Structure 1
C-alpha cells in the first residue's frame, strides 16, 4: 500500500515541543481530513535542537501519542540543521554540510531517534543535504565527504542488525548544489563506490520541484536511476514556478528574503543557472532573453497556473504514476506563508489536505 504524508518543515519551530505542538494543532487536522479511518504516516522535520532535547521520557510520550491517534513515524527531514523559517536562510540551509563532523553526529542521532520513535514502519528514510552548496566545494573535499558518509552508513547497518529496522540516508539533489542534476547524482554514486554491504543504506530523496527546475524529463530520469541501481528512498511531491516568454518578468513578485530561489533559464544556446532571483533579474536587465524559466519556489501542487505564470505541476502528473508503489511520497510545500497574499486564501491545514487529496486523485486512490 502506498504511503503518503506531508513534511512538517511546513511549520516553524526548532524545538521538540514545537514538533509536538505542530502535530496537535496541524497534523491531527490533516489526518482527520485525509485519513480519518486509517493509520497516518508522519514526515517529521527534527532540527538539531529538537534532536538533542529528546530523551527516553519524551520518546515514550511520542510513541504513546502515535498509538492514541493512529499515526506512525515514516520519514525524517534531516536537511535543515537549524532555523528554517521567519529569518533569512538562503545558502546557510546547507550548513553544516557533509564536509563537517557536525553533519555526521546530527545524522547518526537522527537515525537512532528514527528507530526509537517509530512504532510501525520497518523502513525509514532520513533526507539530507546534497553534499554541499556547489560554490566553494573543491575536488579535494571528496575523500573527507566519502569518509563521513561511510561512517554514517556503517552506523545505519549496525542499527539495522540490532533493531531490524532499515534506516536509509536519502541525499536530496537540489539546484546549485554538488548534487544537482540526475547526471551528477549518478556520477556521485559511481565516484563513491560504496562497499557492497553498505549500499542498502543510501539512496536519494527525489524532490520533484528540484528536478523539474533542471528541465529534466520524468520518464528519462527514472530510467537512468534504475539503470544505475540508485534507490529512491522517498519522493518529495513538490512543484516549482514556470514562466514562458513575457511571463518571465512576473517571476520577481515571488522574490523574498528567507529562501534561496535558484532559477534555470532556457535559450537557444542551452540552460543558464542563477543562484537566486535577483541574479536572473540582473541578466534580463542587461538584455538577455530566455524562452522559459523555472524557479525553485515550492508552490501548491494543486495549482497549474498562478495567474502571472504557471507551475511545473505537469512534471508531477508525468512522474508520480511511473513510481513503484513501495516508494513513500511526502508533500513538501514549505513556503505557503511566503506566497503572495492572493495565494493564501485557505487555512494551512486545508491547503495541506487539499494537496494530499490531489495526489490521491492523480494516482486513482
Structure 2
C-alpha cells in the first residue's frame, strides 16, 4: 500500500507459523492480500527450506510475488523461523559462514526478475553474529570475515535495478544500536566497500532500537547525517515494565516472564536503573531483578503490534513507535515500511490474523 505517495507499506509473512511454502502463500492470499479491495504489499520471510521450495517452482512463485507486489524479503532466518526452541540458533549460520553467503546469494538471484524498472527490493539480514559467541578481541576478526562475505555477495548479485542487503541490528548481537551502525560504516564500510555502500544498507527495526533505549529521532537523524541508507524500517513495539514497589505486584509479572521464557524465541532484555544500563540475552536472567530492586526500567524484545498499549501485566513502547512513524513520514529515509509483529500471539490459544493485521495497517496509515 502506498502512503503519502512516497512509502510502500508491507506486512511480513513471518507471522504465519508454517514451514510449507504452499501454506505460506495460501495464508498470504487469505489474510494479507486485500482488505476492502485495497491491494496490500507483502514482505516474504524465506528460510533455507522455503527458499529451496521456492526455487523448485520458481516461475510459478515469481508470478505470485510479482502479482502481490513484493518489495521486501526477510532473509534473516536461515533455519525454519518457527522451529521449536530456535532461541540463539536463529543466528546460525552467521556472516562468517559460506552457508550464510550462499543462502543470501540464492535469495537475491531468485528475486532478481521481480526487480523491474522502478522497484527497489530490500533483503534484510542478520547483524553479522551473536555476541555470546565471541570476545571483544575476536570481534574485529568476526566483522572482517563478515564484511568480506557481504562484499562478495553484493559484487556477485548487484544490478542496475537496485536490490539492497539491509543489515538488521538486534540486541545482544555484534551490531545492536545506532552508534554501532555509525561506527561500523565509518570504520569498516568506508574503507572496504565504499563503492558498494548504496547496496549495503540498514534495516531499522523500531522494536529493537526501543529495547536498546535508543531515542529514535536522534538515531535516525544521526544515521541520515552520516549518509547511511536505510533498506527498510520495520514497525512493531516492544514490552516494557518498571519493577514495582511491592512483591505482591511483582508476582504476576514474574509468572508472565516464566511463560515468555518458554517461547521458541530469545527475548533479550535491557535494564535501566538511573544511568546504568545492562543487557541480558534472555528473560530468565532478569527475573530476580523484579525482586531485588525497585524502579528498574526493563525493555524486552518481543514484537508487539502498535495497537497494544498494554499487554498482559506489561506496558509496551506503543508511544515511541507512534512518534517514530510520524517522524518517518516527515522524512525521506526509505521507501520501504514493513509491519513485523510475530511473537506476541505466543500468549493466545486463539488468534485472529485478519483482525490483528487489519488493525496494524489502519493505525500505521493513520499515524
When the two structures are superposed, what TM-score results if normalisation uses the length of structure 1?
0.88
Cα distance in 2, alignment partners of residues 225 and 166 from structure 1: 20
Aligned with residue 178 of structure 1, among 153, 156, 174: 174
- 2:307–2:363 Cα contact (<8 Å) kept: yes
Question: Displacement, 1:230?
Answer: 1.0
Question: SS of the counterpart of 2:72?
Answer: strand
CA 1:281–1:37 in 2, change beyond 3 Å: closer, same or farther?
Answer: closer
Aligned position for 1:361 = 366
- 1:114–1:167 Cα contact (<8 Å) kept: no
Cα distance in 2, alignment partners of residues 66 and 296 from structure 1: 30
- 1:245–1:290 Cα contact (<8 Å) kept: yes
118-127 or 254-263: which moved more? 118-127
Question: SS of the counterpart of 1:144?
Answer: helix
Aligned position for 2:25 = 23
Question: Displacement, 1:314?
Answer: 1.2
- 1:30–1:350 Cα contact (<8 Å) kept: no
Question: Displacement, 1:236?
Answer: 0.8
- 2:16–2:27 Cα contact (<8 Å) kept: no
Aligned position for 1:348 = 353
Cα distance in 2, alignment partners of residues 142 and 291 from structure 1: 33
- 1:47–1:78 Cα contact (<8 Å) kept: yes
Aligned position for 1:99 = 96
Aligned with residue 340 of structure 2, among 303, 313, 332: 332
* Equivalence map 1:1-365=2 (5 Å): 1=5, 2-14=7-19, 18-33=20-35, 36-38=37-39, 40-55=40-55, 58-66=57-65, 70-118=67-115, 122-137=119-134, 138-139=138-139, 140-157=141-158, 160=159, 164-192=160-188, 193=190, 194-246=192-244, 250=253, 252=257, 253-285=259-291, 287-323=292-328, 324=331, 326-341=334-349, 346-362=351-367
- 1:104–1:148 Cα contact (<8 Å) kept: yes
- 2:172–2:268 Cα contact (<8 Å) kept: yes
170-179 or 246-255: which moved more? 246-255
Question: Displacement, 1:361?
Answer: 1.3
Question: How many residues matched?
Answer: 345
- 1:42–1:75 Cα contact (<8 Å) kept: yes
Question: Displacement, 1:190?
Answer: 1.4
Question: SS of the counterpart of 1:3?
Answer: strand
Cα distance in 2, alignment partners of residues 142 and 309 from structure 1: 36
Question: Displacement, 1:167?
Answer: 0.7
- 2:10–2:72 Cα contact (<8 Å) kept: no
Aligned alpha-carbon RMSD (Å): 2.1
Cα distance in 1, alignment partners of residues 115 and 197 from structure 2: 23
Cα distance in 1, alignment partners of residues 187 and 80 from structure 2: 32
Question: Displacement, 1:290?
Answer: 4.2
- 1:331–1:355 Cα contact (<8 Å) kept: yes
Deviation by residue 1:206-231 (Cα, 9 ceiling, x = unmatched)? 11100001111121011110122111
Question: SS of the counterpart of 1:135?
Answer: helix
- 1:26–1:349 Cα contact (<8 Å) kept: no
CA 1:201–1:112 in 2, change beyond 3 Å: closer, same or farther?
Answer: same
Question: Displacement, 1:299?
Answer: 1.5
CA 1:300–1:232 in 2, change beyond 3 Å: closer, same or farther?
Answer: same
Question: Displacement, 1:352?
Answer: 1.3
Cα distance in 2, alignment partners of residues 32 and 85 from structure 1: 25
Cα distance in 2, alignment partners of residues 339 and 269 from structure 1: 32
Unaligned runs of 5+ in 2: none
Unaligned runs of 5+ in 1: none
- 1:156–1:168 Cα contact (<8 Å) kept: no
- 2:117–2:161 Cα contact (<8 Å) kept: no
Cα distance in 2, alignment partners of residues 314 and 230 from structure 1: 26
Question: Displacement, 1:116?
Answer: 2.8
